[in-house]
Each structure stands twice: as C-alpha cells, then as structure tokens.
Chains A and B, each alone.
Chain A
Amino acid sequence: MTRRNFLGFFLLGGSLSLFGKKISSKKITGVKRQKWREAMYWRKKDEL
C-alpha cells in the first residue's frame, strides 16, 4: 500500500467514525461499561 492510499483510507475511516451513527450501550440500556454487572433477578434472603 502506498503512502497516498494509506492516507486516503486513514482519512476516510476517520470521517466515517466521526459522522457515523454511534452505538452506545449506556445511551440505550442505561448501563455503564462495567466489569461486574448487578444481576437482575435476586432478592435479599433476610427479606424473604
């Protein structure tokens, strides 16, 4: 790949990522990127 081609792809990729529609889990599900996600179905045993 020539330097010119590389530069072309670099600029094209950059533009697409800037203007493309972003997929964000936080925006859609309200969940932050976290390692340990709190489980959805459980209860405290003391409350049983």
Chain B
Amino acid sequence: MGKKVQCELCPTECILEDLQIGGCRVRINKGGVLYSLVYGKPCAVAVDPIEKKPFFHFLPATTAFSIATAGCVLGCKFCQNWEISQAKPEETDNHNLMPDDVVRQAMFYGCRTITYTYTEPTVFYEYMYDTAQIAKKYNLKNTMHTCGYINEKPLRKLAEYMNAADVDLKAFTEDFYSRICGGRLKPVLDALVVLKQENVWLEITNLIIPTLNDDNGKIKEMCQWIIKNLGPDVPLHFSRFFPHYKLKNLPPTPFETIRDARNIAMDAGLKYVYIGNLRSEAENTYCPECRKLLIERAGYFVKQNNISDAKCRFCRAKIPGIWS
C-alpha cells in the first residue's frame, strides 16, 4: 500500500511521500497521515495595536493578541519576517501555547482580538481554527493578516470564525507572483472574493516595490478590479518598501511613488486609501461625504476618533467597518 498523501490546504497542493515535509515546512506525511508540526507551537507572540496589522476600520485603538508559527506557503524575496516565515519549526524558538492558552492569555492582557499574523497563518490552519473557535465562544474577535494563498474549502470553513482579514495583494501580475513570490495571483483574487462573500471584513495591503510592481497602469488595473469585485468601501493600504531579505539591492519606495498610487486609487473610486510605513496625513481616515477628519493616527496610535455608532460624527454618513 502506498502512503502518499496530497495536501489540499493551499493551491500548491504538495504531494508527499512518507516522512516528507511540505513546501510550507510545517506539514509532514507520517505513515500516510498528514500532520501539522506547529500546532500549539507559536514562535512569535505579542500584544500589538490593531493598527499595526494594519486594520484601520476595525476596533480602532484596541489591542490584538498576535501569534505566528514558523513556515509560509510562499517565498517572497522581500519578506519582512523571513527569519521565521522561511524557517523550519525546529529552527525557531517556540512557545508551548495551546489554543485555550492563547485565549486565556488574550483575555488576561485585555485584548479584544486575536490576530493570526507575522507569517502566513494558512500554514498553521488547524491551530488558528481551533483557537478562533474558542475565542468566539469567549467573545473575542478573530482577525488574520494573510497572503490569501489558500484553497476555497478551508477558507470558507475558517470564515465562520474570522471577523476580519487583511490580505496582502502583492502585485497585479502573474509574473510578479511567479518570479518574486513563488506563487500565483489568481488564487489570491479568488480568496478575496470568497472572503467578501462570507462577510469577513476585508482590508487590502499592497507593498509597492520600486521597479517590480510600481507601474501606474497595473496599480490602476488592480484598483478597478477591487472596486468591481469587492466594492469601493474596502480600505486599501499602500505600504512603503524597505530593502529586505533577497531584495537588499533595491532602494526604499520614494514618497512620490506612493503618493501617486494613492491618487490613482482614489481617482478610480476607492473611498479609503491609506499609506503605511511612512508618516503622512494619509494615515488618517476622512469622511468621504463631508471630508472631515474622522480618525487621526500617528503611526499605530489613534489621536482622535470622530466615528460614533459607525457614522461620521459631523454629517452622520455611515462609515463601513467594525467599530464596536
């Protein structure tokens, strides 16, 4: 009897011989059964402002109990957390923190949310799923920062417990995903649509890397796709690139490039477009109706919040998001 198995979690769908480990580094075929090697073994545990994820339309000025394990489904050359995302679980310093421990710790630290982040949470799917289930029972919210490289079936099941997702839409070309990330664009777009259908609050992050994905035409195309498939209310965060990992030869993204991208997105019709990794007034939320300042931010900190009952305090326009 053969003991080969096929993982069906992410679009890579690795076929594994007995004792072989998947491309994500954290799933092993042992005797014809696929196991997770990182269940209850986070290598990163922290209490962060929710704005750091980034979520700008989700419980502002609250904290998120954030966890990650080793491993990733992609291999982005610009990864900011490559020391853990591109590592095997035996190469990282891991905590022993089972799902009930995570919930207990989150409650102890007064966090409103548990966030699955830093690396790609898809790789620790079972750990995330079990934790999210318990968290929901104890009235904690669940959020994830993901690359969206996950198959439809597991994503729909997870969405039952996931309140919000920040999806990295890394570029709008298959070539970029293939050459720079080792993946494909299409499954990510499909995942975005699934999250929208499942009523998971969605925010999108796009890291702009000089010469690789800073083409204005492609940025416009991406924004038009977002509006057509997800709607104009989805917050879009353009993030500034800093040289990292295998892309140390490139310069940081010039301010003008990000400013132009933001203008393109707003001209296309997106209502909430932010700039990240760069201090500017584009960190703030403005009312699309009366243009008044709604949420003033300084980095990860909220200085003032003029949203009450999910509405603009000045003109009472409804502001999309999860505010309480």
B132 CB → nearest A CB, Å: 10
Interface: B310 (CB within 8 A): no
In B3-49, the 8 Å CB interface with A consists of 4-9, 15, 27-28, 30, 32-37, 39-40
A-chain residues with CB within 8 Å of residue B37 when the two chains form the complex: 36
A-chain residues with CB within 8 Å of residue B127 when the two chains form the complex: 37
Query: Are the C-beta atoms of B6 and A43 separated by less than 8 Å?
Result: yes
Binds A, one of B76-84, B97-105, B249-257: B97-105
Binary interface profile of A, 5-48, with partner B (CB < 8 Å = 1, else 0)?
A: 00000000000000000011100110101111111111111101
Interface: B268 (CB within 8 A): no
B130 CB → nearest A CB, Å: 5
In B89-120, the 8 Å CB interface with A consists of 98-100, 103-104
B4 CB → nearest A CB, Å: 3
The complex places the Cα of A28 from the Cα of B103 at a distance, in Å, of: 12
The complex places the Cα of A42 from the Cα of B5 at a distance, in Å, of: 7
Query: Are the C-beta atoms of B35 and A46 separated by less than 8 Å?
Result: no
Knowing A23-B104, A28-B133, the reply to whether A41 touches B33 (Cβ < 8 A) is no
Interface: B126 (CB within 8 A): yes
Query: Are the C-beta atoms of B134 and A36 separated by less than 8 Å?
Result: no
Query: Are the C-beta atoms of A37 and B134 separated by less than 8 Å?
Result: no
Residue in contact with A37 in the complex, picked from B4, B8, B15, B126, CB distance below 8 Å: B126
Interface: B129 (CB within 8 A): yes
Knowing A25-B98, A25-B99, A45-B15, the reply to whether A39 touches B2 (Cβ < 8 A) is no
Query: Are the C-beta atoms of A37 and B35 separated by less than 8 Å?
Result: yes
B-chain residues with CB within 8 Å of residue A42 when the two chains form the complex: 5-9, 34
The complex places the Cα of A36 from the Cα of B7 at a distance, in Å, of: 16
Query: Are the C-beta atoms of A43 and B126 separated by less than 8 Å?
Result: no
Knowing A37-B35, A42-B5, the reply to whether A23 touches B129 (Cβ < 8 A) is no
Residue in contact with B40 in the complex, picked from A24, A33, A43, A45, CB distance below 8 Å: A33
Query: Are the C-beta atoms of B100 and A23 separated by less than 8 Å?
Result: yes
B141 CB → nearest A CB, Å: 16
Interface: B153 (CB within 8 A): yes
Query: Are the C-beta atoms of A39 and B138 separated by less than 8 Å?
Result: no
The complex places the Cα of A37 from the Cα of B151 at a distance, in Å, of: 20
Query: Are the C-beta atoms of B35 and A23 separated by less than 8 Å?
Result: no
The complex places the Cα of A46 from the Cα of B8 at a distance, in Å, of: 15
Query: Are the C-beta atoms of B126 and A33 separated by less than 8 Å?
Result: no
Interface: B321 (CB within 8 A): no
Knowing A33-B40, A43-B5, the reply to whether A38 touches B35 (Cβ < 8 A) is yes
Query: Are the C-beta atoms of A41 and B35 separated by less than 8 Å?
Result: no
Knowing A23-B138, A25-B99, A34-B39, the reply to whether A41 touches B129 (Cβ < 8 A) is no
B315 CB → nearest A CB, Å: 43
The complex places the Cα of A25 from the Cα of B39 at a distance, in Å, of: 13
Query: Are the C-beta atoms of B9 and A41 separated by less than 8 Å?
Result: yes
A2 CB → nearest B CB, Å: 26
Q: Which chain A residues have a beta carbon within 8 Å of chain B's beta carbons? A: 23-25, 28-29, 31, 33-46, 48
User: What would be 13 A-B contacts, judged by CB atoms less than 8 Å apart?
Assistant: A23-B100, A24-B100, A29-B133, A31-B130, A33-B98, A34-B39, A36-B35, A38-B35, A38-B36, A40-B125, A41-B125, A45-B6, A46-B1
Q: A28-B133, A39-B36, A44-B32 are in contact. List 13 more A-B contacts (CB 8 A).
A: A25-B134, A28-B100, A28-B137, A31-B99, A37-B35, A39-B9, A39-B34, A39-B126, A41-B154, A42-B8, A44-B4, A44-B5, A48-B6
